[in-house]
């Protein structure tokens, strides 16, 4: 698909964090059960949720001038849209034992915890291209419509620093800033249903590096266990493009 790359993937996540319990016994008190577990400073975290590929809100319009041999001049309008996919991840969460000197000097907690994970994400999108054929005076003499669709799968590794804003003893706002590295392992079909100039497009390379931000609403299930529904989205990234391989609609890797 000309001009379309793996655009920003919005991830709606449901994260679970559970710290390791070294002493699972409990002591009962007169007014209910109190939790005296000796928790470690790390725990298992896993995530599962849908993904969605965000595209630009305005349509991408430009005029293309054909070579003299083509004898056609036209104006393209690209209309990309996202598709829903899914992702799954497992990893560890770590809670700092001590506050940094900068945190003590600022009299605030800078990093509530940090976590990392490895997982798989399935991302997809569609694109419709309208090609207006123009006469030498610039008038539209005909319009052609073409469409394309893709679904690609990526394995990834992620590391995120989190800052929590407490809303009492049970709820909190979870802010995260981190880095993820993705690698495409499932190459979905990316051919168009017809093209004006076949082969004059490029696809993204399999390696993708992104700086991401996440925000979630944390719920304390019990001491050491938390449920955090939220969203994660890239805010800055790097990816290259590869030339199209003739005949199969897929980019080189």
CA dihedral 242, 245, 250, 253 (to 10 degrees): -50
13-22 pLDDT, tens digit per residue, is 666 665 544 3
Considering the domain boundaries, does residue 101 fall inside one? yes
For 95-206, list the strands marked E by DSSP.
113-134, 140-166, 171-186, 202-204
pTM: 0.73
Specify the pLDDT at position 193. 63
Q: Which residue has the tokens 């400073």?
A: 41
- Residue-level pLDDT at 7: 43
71 domain-assigned: no
Chain mean pLDDT for the chain: 77
* pLDDT bucket at 196, cuts 50 / 70 / 90: low
Question: Residues 82-100: what's their mean pLDDT?
Answer: 90
Closest CA to 128 of 146, 151, 150, 149: 146
The answer to whether residue 133 is domain-embedded is no
More confident residue, 87 or 71: 87
Residue 170 has pLDDT above 50, yes or no: yes
Task: Please tell me the predicted confidence (pLDDT) of residue 42.
Answer: 82
Structure tokens at 70: 């083509």
Is 139 within the bounds of a domain? no
Q: Is residue 207 domain-resident?
A: yes
Domain holding 104, by residue range, is: 9-58+81-126+149-243
* pLDDT at residue 76, as a whole number: 79
- The answer to the question of residue 117 being in a domain is yes
In a domain, 253, yes or no: no
**Per the domain annotation, does 97 fall within a domain?**
yes
Number of structural domains in the chain: 1
């Amino acid at each position: 698909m000309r001009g379309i790359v793996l655009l920003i993937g919005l991830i709606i996540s449901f994260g679970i964090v559970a710290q390791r319990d070294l002493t699972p016994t409990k002591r009962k008190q007169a007014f209910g059960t109190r939790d005296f577990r000796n928790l470690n400073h790390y725990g298992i975290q896993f995530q599962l949720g849908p993904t969605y590929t965000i595209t630009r809100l305005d349509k991408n319009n430009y005029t293309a001038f054909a070579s003299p041999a083509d004898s056609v001049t036209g104006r393209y309008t690209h209309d990309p849209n996202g598709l829903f996919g899914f992702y799954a991840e497992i990893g560890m969460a770590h809670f700092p034992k001590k506050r940094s000197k900068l945190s003590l000097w600022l009299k605030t907690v800078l990093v509530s915890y940090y976590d990392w994970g490895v997982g798989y994400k399935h991302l997809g999108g569609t694109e419709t291209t309208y090609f207006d054929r123009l006469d030498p005076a610039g008038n539209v003499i005909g319009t052609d419509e073409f469409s394309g669709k893709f679904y690609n799968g990526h394995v990834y590794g992620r590391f995120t620093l989190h800052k929590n804003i407490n809303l009492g003893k049970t709820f909190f706002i979870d802010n995260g800033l981190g880095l993820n590295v993705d690698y495409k392992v499932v190459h979905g079909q990316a051919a168009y249903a017809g093209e004006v100039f076949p082969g004059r497009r490029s696809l993204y390379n399999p390696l993708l590096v992104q700086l991401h931000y996440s925000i979630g609403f944390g719920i304390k299930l019990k001491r050491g266990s938390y449920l955090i529904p939220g969203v994660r989205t890239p805010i800055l990234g790097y990816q290259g493009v590869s030339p199209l391989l003739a005949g199969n609609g897929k980019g080189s890797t």
